[in-house]
Amino acid sequence: MHSQKYLFERMLAPAGIRINGNGPADIRVRDERFYARLLRYKNLGLGESYMEGWWDCQRLDELIYRVLTARIDKKIVGGLKLLFPSIAAVFLNMQSRMRAFDVAERHYNLDNDLFMSFLDPYNQYSCAYFDGTGDLNEAQVKKMDLICRKLDLKANDRVLDIGCGWGGLAKYMAEKRGCRVTAVNISDRQIEYARETCRGLPVEIVRKDYRDLDGCYDKIVSVGMFEHVGMKNYRTFMTAVHRCLNDGGIFLLHTIGNNESRIKCDPWIHKYIFPNGMLPSIAQIGKAAEGLFVTEDLHNLGPHYAKTLMAWHGNFQKAWPQLKSKHSETFKRMWDFYLLSCAGAFRARDIQLWQWVLTRYGTTQPCCR
Protein backbone atom coordinates (compact mmCIF):
# COMPACT_ATOMS: atom_id res chain seq x y z
CA MET A 1 0.00 0.00 0.00
CA HIS A 2 2.76 2.45 0.95
CA SER A 3 4.69 1.68 -2.24
CA GLN A 4 1.56 2.39 -4.32
CA LYS A 5 1.04 5.70 -2.53
CA TYR A 6 4.69 6.63 -3.10
CA LEU A 7 4.31 5.78 -6.80
CA PHE A 8 1.36 8.15 -7.15
CA GLU A 9 3.10 10.90 -5.21
CA ARG A 10 6.01 10.75 -7.66
CA MET A 11 3.72 10.72 -10.72
CA LEU A 12 1.58 13.61 -9.52
CA ALA A 13 4.40 15.84 -8.28
CA PRO A 14 5.31 17.32 -11.72
CA ALA A 15 1.70 18.56 -12.02
CA GLY A 16 1.85 20.25 -8.63
CA ILE A 17 -0.61 17.76 -7.10
CA ARG A 18 -0.03 16.32 -3.63
CA ILE A 19 -1.62 13.43 -1.79
CA ASN A 20 -3.46 14.75 1.29
CA GLY A 21 -2.22 18.28 0.69
CA ASN A 22 -4.18 21.50 1.25
CA GLY A 23 -4.06 22.87 -2.30
CA PRO A 24 -7.22 23.16 -4.43
CA ALA A 25 -6.07 20.38 -6.80
CA ASP A 26 -4.67 18.06 -4.13
CA ILE A 27 -6.20 14.62 -3.57
CA ARG A 28 -7.41 13.84 -0.07
CA VAL A 29 -7.56 10.06 0.24
CA ARG A 30 -10.18 8.71 2.66
CA ASP A 31 -9.78 5.01 1.83
CA GLU A 32 -6.32 3.52 1.28
CA ARG A 33 -7.73 0.98 -1.19
CA PHE A 34 -7.92 3.92 -3.64
CA TYR A 35 -4.35 3.40 -4.91
CA ALA A 36 -4.75 -0.24 -5.93
CA ARG A 37 -8.12 0.46 -7.51
CA LEU A 38 -6.75 3.29 -9.61
CA LEU A 39 -3.77 1.23 -10.75
CA ARG A 40 -6.02 -1.63 -11.78
CA TYR A 41 -8.98 0.22 -13.33
CA LYS A 42 -7.51 3.59 -14.35
CA ASN A 43 -10.26 6.11 -15.33
CA LEU A 44 -13.05 3.77 -14.29
CA GLY A 45 -11.49 3.27 -10.88
CA LEU A 46 -10.89 7.00 -10.46
CA GLY A 47 -14.53 7.86 -11.09
CA GLU A 48 -16.06 4.99 -9.14
CA SER A 49 -13.88 5.56 -6.09
CA TYR A 50 -14.88 9.24 -6.13
CA MET A 51 -18.57 8.29 -6.30
CA GLU A 52 -18.06 6.02 -3.27
CA GLY A 53 -16.31 8.73 -1.25
CA TRP A 54 -12.86 7.13 -1.21
CA TRP A 55 -11.25 10.46 -2.07
CA ASP A 56 -12.06 14.15 -2.41
CA CYS A 57 -10.64 17.24 -4.05
CA GLN A 58 -11.49 20.88 -3.51
CA ARG A 59 -11.26 21.67 -7.26
CA LEU A 60 -11.84 18.46 -9.19
CA ASP A 61 -11.84 20.32 -12.51
CA GLU A 62 -8.38 21.74 -11.73
CA LEU A 63 -7.10 18.29 -10.76
CA ILE A 64 -8.19 16.77 -14.07
CA TYR A 65 -6.81 19.77 -15.96
CA ARG A 66 -3.39 19.34 -14.38
CA VAL A 67 -3.34 15.55 -14.82
CA LEU A 68 -4.20 15.80 -18.52
CA THR A 69 -1.91 18.74 -19.22
CA ALA A 70 1.02 16.86 -17.67
CA ARG A 71 -0.05 13.67 -19.53
CA ILE A 72 -0.02 11.74 -16.26
CA ASP A 73 -2.97 9.65 -17.44
CA LYS A 74 -0.66 8.06 -20.03
CA LYS A 75 1.63 6.76 -17.29
CA ILE A 76 -0.99 4.50 -15.67
CA VAL A 77 -1.48 1.27 -17.60
CA GLY A 78 -5.09 0.03 -17.47
CA GLY A 79 -6.05 -3.46 -16.31
CA LEU A 80 -7.25 -6.27 -18.56
CA LYS A 81 -10.86 -5.41 -17.73
CA LEU A 82 -10.47 -2.21 -19.73
CA LEU A 83 -9.47 -4.13 -22.86
CA PHE A 84 -12.86 -5.79 -23.27
CA PRO A 85 -14.75 -2.65 -24.42
CA SER A 86 -12.03 -2.06 -27.03
CA ILE A 87 -12.32 -5.60 -28.39
CA ALA A 88 -16.11 -5.33 -28.52
CA ALA A 89 -15.92 -2.00 -30.34
CA VAL A 90 -13.77 -3.53 -33.08
CA PHE A 91 -16.02 -6.49 -33.83
CA LEU A 92 -19.47 -5.20 -32.84
CA ASN A 93 -21.56 -2.20 -33.80
CA MET A 94 -21.95 -0.72 -30.32
CA GLN A 95 -24.35 1.93 -31.69
CA SER A 96 -26.65 -0.38 -33.66
CA ARG A 97 -30.39 0.29 -33.88
CA MET A 98 -30.97 -1.91 -30.84
CA ARG A 99 -28.22 -0.31 -28.75
CA ALA A 100 -29.04 3.25 -29.87
CA PHE A 101 -31.85 3.42 -27.33
CA ASP A 102 -29.56 2.58 -24.38
CA VAL A 103 -28.40 6.16 -23.92
CA ALA A 104 -31.95 7.50 -24.25
CA GLU A 105 -33.20 5.17 -21.53
CA ARG A 106 -30.27 5.56 -19.14
CA HIS A 107 -29.45 9.26 -19.57
CA TYR A 108 -31.85 11.42 -21.56
CA ASN A 109 -34.95 9.80 -20.05
CA LEU A 110 -33.84 10.74 -16.54
CA ASP A 111 -36.11 13.09 -14.61
CA ASN A 112 -36.53 16.26 -16.69
CA ASP A 113 -36.41 18.30 -13.46
CA LEU A 114 -32.77 17.27 -13.08
CA PHE A 115 -31.75 18.75 -16.43
CA MET A 116 -33.97 21.81 -16.14
CA SER A 117 -32.33 22.60 -12.81
CA PHE A 118 -28.99 23.51 -14.39
CA LEU A 119 -29.72 24.31 -18.06
CA ASP A 120 -30.73 27.65 -19.57
CA PRO A 121 -34.35 28.61 -20.45
CA TYR A 122 -33.95 27.05 -23.93
CA ASN A 123 -32.65 23.82 -22.31
CA GLN A 124 -29.49 23.66 -24.38
CA TYR A 125 -27.56 20.57 -23.28
CA SER A 126 -24.57 21.50 -25.44
CA CYS A 127 -21.70 23.98 -25.57
CA ALA A 128 -22.63 27.65 -25.17
CA TYR A 129 -20.84 30.52 -26.92
CA PHE A 130 -19.41 32.97 -24.37
CA ASP A 131 -18.73 35.72 -26.92
CA GLY A 132 -18.55 38.93 -24.88
CA THR A 133 -20.57 37.53 -21.99
CA GLY A 134 -20.08 35.45 -18.87
CA ASP A 135 -23.76 34.63 -18.49
CA LEU A 136 -24.82 31.09 -19.44
CA ASN A 137 -28.32 32.04 -20.62
CA GLU A 138 -26.99 34.78 -22.90
CA ALA A 139 -24.16 32.53 -24.13
CA GLN A 140 -26.63 29.83 -25.18
CA VAL A 141 -28.66 32.36 -27.16
CA LYS A 142 -25.43 33.50 -28.80
CA LYS A 143 -24.67 29.85 -29.69
CA MET A 144 -28.07 29.40 -31.33
CA ASP A 145 -27.72 32.70 -33.18
CA LEU A 146 -24.26 31.63 -34.41
CA ILE A 147 -25.76 28.39 -35.73
CA CYS A 148 -28.54 30.28 -37.50
CA ARG A 149 -26.04 32.64 -39.12
CA LYS A 150 -23.80 29.80 -40.26
CA LEU A 151 -26.84 28.06 -41.77
CA ASP A 152 -27.92 31.35 -43.38
CA LEU A 153 -31.46 30.62 -42.17
CA LYS A 154 -34.29 32.32 -44.01
CA ALA A 155 -37.98 32.49 -43.22
CA ASN A 156 -38.97 30.14 -46.04
CA ASP A 157 -36.38 27.47 -45.18
CA ARG A 158 -37.44 23.96 -44.27
CA VAL A 159 -35.05 22.75 -41.55
CA LEU A 160 -34.22 19.30 -40.18
CA ASP A 161 -32.91 19.14 -36.60
CA ILE A 162 -31.32 15.72 -35.95
CA GLY A 163 -31.30 14.87 -32.24
CA CYS A 164 -33.29 17.87 -31.07
CA GLY A 165 -33.06 17.36 -27.30
CA TRP A 166 -35.82 19.22 -25.48
CA GLY A 167 -36.62 21.27 -28.59
CA GLY A 168 -34.91 24.51 -27.63
CA LEU A 169 -33.01 25.08 -30.88
CA ALA A 170 -36.04 24.13 -32.99
CA LYS A 171 -38.13 26.60 -30.99
CA TYR A 172 -35.50 29.33 -31.42
CA MET A 173 -35.21 28.81 -35.19
CA ALA A 174 -38.99 28.90 -35.62
CA GLU A 175 -39.47 31.93 -33.35
CA LYS A 176 -36.53 34.06 -34.45
CA ARG A 177 -36.11 33.05 -38.11
CA GLY A 178 -39.63 31.91 -39.04
CA CYS A 179 -38.42 28.52 -40.33
CA ARG A 180 -40.45 25.34 -40.60
CA VAL A 181 -38.63 22.74 -38.53
CA THR A 182 -38.82 18.97 -38.43
CA ALA A 183 -36.99 17.73 -35.33
CA VAL A 184 -36.17 14.07 -34.70
CA ASN A 185 -35.26 12.29 -31.48
CA ILE A 186 -35.49 8.84 -29.86
CA SER A 187 -35.87 9.89 -26.20
CA ASP A 188 -39.54 9.69 -25.21
CA ARG A 189 -39.20 12.17 -22.34
CA GLN A 190 -37.42 14.70 -24.49
CA ILE A 191 -39.95 14.28 -27.30
CA GLU A 192 -42.87 14.84 -24.94
CA TYR A 193 -41.25 17.96 -23.51
CA ALA A 194 -40.22 19.30 -26.94
CA ARG A 195 -43.73 18.94 -28.33
CA GLU A 196 -45.10 20.97 -25.44
CA THR A 197 -42.45 23.70 -25.60
CA CYS A 198 -42.89 24.08 -29.38
CA ARG A 199 -46.69 24.07 -29.28
CA GLY A 200 -48.17 26.66 -31.65
CA LEU A 201 -44.98 26.97 -33.72
CA PRO A 202 -44.25 25.50 -37.18
CA VAL A 203 -42.27 22.69 -35.53
CA GLU A 204 -42.92 18.97 -35.87
CA ILE A 205 -41.25 16.68 -33.32
CA VAL A 206 -40.84 13.13 -34.68
CA ARG A 207 -39.65 9.95 -32.98
CA LYS A 208 -37.21 8.60 -35.54
CA ASP A 209 -33.73 7.11 -35.79
CA TYR A 210 -31.36 9.04 -38.06
CA ARG A 211 -31.00 5.95 -40.24
CA ASP A 212 -34.66 6.30 -41.23
CA LEU A 213 -34.52 9.96 -42.24
CA ASP A 214 -36.46 10.97 -45.33
CA GLY A 215 -37.79 14.12 -46.94
CA CYS A 216 -35.97 17.10 -48.45
CA TYR A 217 -34.66 20.06 -46.46
CA ASP A 218 -32.96 23.35 -47.22
CA LYS A 219 -30.90 23.31 -44.02
CA ILE A 220 -29.94 20.47 -41.65
CA VAL A 221 -28.45 20.83 -38.18
CA SER A 222 -27.30 18.30 -35.60
CA VAL A 223 -26.15 19.48 -32.17
CA GLY A 224 -24.67 17.12 -29.58
CA MET A 225 -25.96 13.94 -31.21
CA PHE A 226 -23.06 12.73 -33.36
CA GLU A 227 -21.25 11.59 -30.19
CA HIS A 228 -23.78 8.73 -30.04
CA VAL A 229 -23.41 7.60 -33.67
CA GLY A 230 -20.21 5.52 -33.43
CA MET A 231 -17.40 4.94 -35.92
CA LYS A 232 -19.15 2.07 -37.69
CA ASN A 233 -22.05 4.40 -38.48
CA TYR A 234 -20.37 7.72 -39.32
CA ARG A 235 -20.68 7.12 -43.07
CA THR A 236 -24.29 5.96 -42.67
CA PHE A 237 -25.08 9.19 -40.83
CA MET A 238 -23.45 11.36 -43.49
CA THR A 239 -25.20 9.46 -46.27
CA ALA A 240 -28.57 10.01 -44.58
CA VAL A 241 -27.89 13.75 -44.28
CA HIS A 242 -26.73 13.94 -47.91
CA ARG A 243 -29.89 12.13 -49.02
CA CYS A 244 -32.12 14.67 -47.27
CA LEU A 245 -30.25 17.91 -48.06
CA ASN A 246 -31.46 19.90 -51.06
CA ASP A 247 -29.00 21.14 -53.68
CA GLY A 248 -27.63 24.45 -52.45
CA GLY A 249 -28.43 23.51 -48.85
CA ILE A 250 -26.20 23.74 -45.76
CA PHE A 251 -25.51 21.19 -43.03
CA LEU A 252 -24.07 22.18 -39.64
CA LEU A 253 -22.62 19.49 -37.38
CA HIS A 254 -21.94 20.47 -33.75
CA THR A 255 -20.05 17.71 -31.92
CA ILE A 256 -17.53 16.99 -29.20
CA GLY A 257 -14.38 15.47 -30.67
CA ASN A 258 -11.12 13.71 -29.86
CA ASN A 259 -7.65 14.83 -30.87
CA GLU A 260 -6.93 11.24 -31.91
CA SER A 261 -8.98 8.60 -33.71
CA ARG A 262 -10.30 6.09 -31.19
CA ILE A 263 -12.80 3.26 -31.19
CA LYS A 264 -14.31 3.56 -27.72
CA CYS A 265 -15.40 6.02 -25.07
CA ASP A 266 -13.88 6.66 -21.64
CA PRO A 267 -14.93 3.58 -19.59
CA TRP A 268 -16.41 5.61 -16.72
CA ILE A 269 -18.44 7.84 -19.06
CA HIS A 270 -19.62 4.72 -20.93
CA LYS A 271 -20.75 2.96 -17.76
CA TYR A 272 -22.38 5.84 -15.90
CA ILE A 273 -23.25 8.70 -18.28
CA PHE A 274 -23.37 7.97 -22.03
CA PRO A 275 -23.59 4.23 -22.82
CA ASN A 276 -21.85 3.35 -26.10
CA GLY A 277 -20.75 6.93 -26.65
CA MET A 278 -17.79 7.63 -28.92
CA LEU A 279 -15.99 10.90 -29.67
CA PRO A 280 -14.93 11.27 -33.32
CA SER A 281 -11.69 12.75 -34.58
CA ILE A 282 -11.34 15.24 -37.42
CA ALA A 283 -9.95 12.40 -39.56
CA GLN A 284 -12.97 10.17 -38.86
CA ILE A 285 -15.49 12.91 -39.63
CA GLY A 286 -13.59 13.90 -42.75
CA LYS A 287 -13.47 10.33 -44.02
CA ALA A 288 -17.21 9.91 -43.40
CA ALA A 289 -17.99 13.08 -45.33
CA GLU A 290 -15.53 12.42 -48.17
CA GLY A 291 -17.17 12.33 -51.59
CA LEU A 292 -20.45 13.62 -50.16
CA PHE A 293 -19.77 17.11 -48.84
CA VAL A 294 -17.52 20.13 -49.21
CA THR A 295 -16.15 21.33 -45.86
CA GLU A 296 -16.83 25.07 -45.80
CA ASP A 297 -15.81 25.82 -42.22
CA LEU A 298 -14.41 24.07 -39.13
CA HIS A 299 -14.71 26.08 -35.92
CA ASN A 300 -13.25 24.91 -32.57
CA LEU A 301 -15.31 26.09 -29.57
CA GLY A 302 -13.63 23.78 -27.05
CA PRO A 303 -12.69 26.44 -24.44
CA HIS A 304 -16.32 27.59 -24.39
CA TYR A 305 -17.38 24.10 -23.28
CA ALA A 306 -15.19 24.29 -20.17
CA LYS A 307 -17.04 27.48 -19.20
CA THR A 308 -20.40 25.87 -20.03
CA LEU A 309 -19.74 22.86 -17.80
CA MET A 310 -18.62 25.02 -14.89
CA ALA A 311 -21.80 27.08 -15.22
CA TRP A 312 -23.91 23.90 -15.29
CA HIS A 313 -22.13 22.61 -12.20
CA GLY A 314 -22.74 25.87 -10.35
CA ASN A 315 -26.44 25.68 -11.16
CA PHE A 316 -26.55 22.00 -10.18
CA GLN A 317 -25.01 22.78 -6.79
CA LYS A 318 -27.62 25.48 -6.13
CA ALA A 319 -30.45 23.15 -7.15
CA TRP A 320 -29.29 20.12 -5.16
CA PRO A 321 -31.38 20.91 -2.03
CA GLN A 322 -34.50 20.52 -4.20
CA LEU A 323 -33.16 17.45 -6.05
CA LYS A 324 -31.78 15.34 -3.20
CA SER A 325 -35.17 13.90 -2.26
CA LYS A 326 -35.13 12.08 -5.65
CA HIS A 327 -31.43 11.21 -5.90
CA SER A 328 -28.79 9.69 -3.62
CA GLU A 329 -25.53 11.25 -2.47
CA THR A 330 -23.71 8.76 -4.72
CA PHE A 331 -25.70 10.11 -7.68
CA LYS A 332 -24.68 13.64 -6.75
CA ARG A 333 -21.01 12.68 -6.59
CA MET A 334 -21.39 10.94 -9.95
CA TRP A 335 -22.86 14.09 -11.48
CA ASP A 336 -20.16 16.27 -9.87
CA PHE A 337 -17.44 14.02 -11.29
CA TYR A 338 -19.07 14.05 -14.74
CA LEU A 339 -19.41 17.83 -15.03
CA LEU A 340 -16.12 18.80 -13.39
CA SER A 341 -13.90 16.15 -15.00
CA CYS A 342 -15.25 17.09 -18.43
CA ALA A 343 -14.63 20.77 -17.69
CA GLY A 344 -11.03 19.95 -16.81
CA ALA A 345 -10.62 17.88 -19.98
CA PHE A 346 -11.83 20.71 -22.21
CA ARG A 347 -9.64 23.24 -20.39
CA ALA A 348 -6.63 20.98 -20.92
CA ARG A 349 -7.49 20.77 -24.66
CA ASP A 350 -7.74 16.98 -24.32
CA ILE A 351 -11.14 17.03 -26.05
CA GLN A 352 -12.67 19.60 -28.40
CA LEU A 353 -16.00 20.99 -29.58
CA TRP A 354 -16.29 21.47 -33.33
CA GLN A 355 -18.85 23.09 -35.56
CA TRP A 356 -18.54 21.82 -39.12
CA VAL A 357 -20.31 23.61 -41.96
CA LEU A 358 -20.81 21.26 -44.92
CA THR A 359 -22.45 21.68 -48.32
CA ARG A 360 -23.21 19.49 -51.31
CA TYR A 361 -20.90 19.72 -54.31
CA GLY A 362 -21.59 22.76 -56.49
CA THR A 363 -23.05 24.92 -53.73
CA THR A 364 -22.06 28.58 -53.61
CA GLN A 365 -19.84 29.10 -50.58
CA PRO A 366 -21.93 30.38 -47.65
CA CYS A 367 -20.82 33.08 -45.21
CA CYS A 368 -20.02 30.87 -42.23
CA ARG A 369 -19.55 33.29 -39.31
Q: Which residues are identified as catalytic? A: 342
For residues 236 and 226, give the distance between their C-alpha atoms in angstroms, rounded to a whole number.
12
For residues 162 and 105, give the distance between their C-alpha atoms in angstroms, rounded to a whole number.
18
Q: Residue type at 108?
A: Y
Which runs of E-coded beta strand occur in 288-336?
293-300
How far is it between the farthest Cα atoms of the chain? 69
Q: In sequence order, what DSSP letters do the residues of 226-255 get, joined into one string? A: GGGT-GGGHHHHHHHHHHHEEEEEEEEEEE
Q: In sequence order, what DSSP letters do the residues of 56-112 get, joined into one string? A: E-TTHHHHHHHHHHTTGGGGSPPPGGGHHHHHHHHHS-TTSHHHHHHHIIIIITS-H
Among left, alpha and beta (phi > 0; psi -120 to 50; other), residue 187 is: beta
Q: In sequence order, what DSSP letters do the residues of 265-288 get, joined into one string? A: --HHHHHHTSTT--PPPHHHHHHH
3 state DSSP class of 357:
strand
For residues 136 and 12, give the distance between their C-alpha atoms in angstroms, rounded to a whole number.
33
